[in-house]
Amino acid sequence: MEIVNNLAACLLLVSIFGCVSCDFERRMRHHHPNHHSVQDVASVRMTSPTKTNSVSGFLALSQTQYGVKLVGYIIGLTPGKHGMHVHTFGDVTTDGCTSTGSHYNPHNATHGGPPNGIDKRHVGDLGNVVADENGVALVRIFDRVISLSGPQSIANRAIVVHANEDDLTPNANPGPRLACGTILKTKKVTRYH
C-alpha cells in the first residue's frame, strides 16, 4: 500500500511540475516585447505620530492598466471601520500627522468614496479599512481614480488612517489621524504577460 501511495504522490508531482514546465516553455517560445509592460510601484510605511497609540503598518501599491492596487496591513487599531485617505502632502513629521494637509482633491470635488468616480469624491478618498478583533486591518483596495503617475498621481503624498469610520458623505468626520506614511515610488517593475 505504501508503494501505491508513493507512486500516486510521484505521479501528482510530475503532473503538476510537468504542467508548470510546459506553460513556462510555451511562454518562452511566444515571448516578444509586446507581452510585457513596465509598472510603477510604491510603498508606504505607516507610523503613529504620537506616543498615545501604537498604530503602524505597511502598504504596497502597484499601478495596473486599470488603476492602482493597494495591499498590506495596519495594526494597533480598535476593532471596526477606519477611514483611510491620501492627503495632499507627504510631510509626516508633525505630531498628529497634521502636516499632511487635507484630503488630496485636485478637482475640488465633494467628499465621497469608492466606487464613486472622480466627480463625486476627492481623489484621495479611499473608503474604510476594517480592523478585526485583534486590531489588525488587512488592506486590499483596487481604485480606478488614483494613479502613481500623471495628473492624479498620489506619489510623494501621504496615506492617513483615521480613528473613526468614514461614512463617505460630504460631511464625513473620520476623526483624529492615528497613523500616516509617505507614498514613496520605488523602482519600476517589468511584468511579463
Residues forming beta bridges with residue 129, ordered by sequence position: 82
Reading the block at residue 164, the C-alpha cell is 473613526
- 41 alpha-carbon distance from chain centroid: 10
In a 13 Å sphere around the CA of 144, the CA atoms on its Cβ side amount to 7
Annotate 153-182 with b (16+ C-beta within 10 A) or e (fewer): bbbebbbbbbebbbebeeebebeebbbbbb
Supply the residues annotated as catalytic.
85, 87, 103, 111, 122, 125, 162, 177
User: Which helix (H) or strand (E) covers residue 141, if one does?
Assistant: strand 137-143
Q: Which amino acid is at 62?
A: S
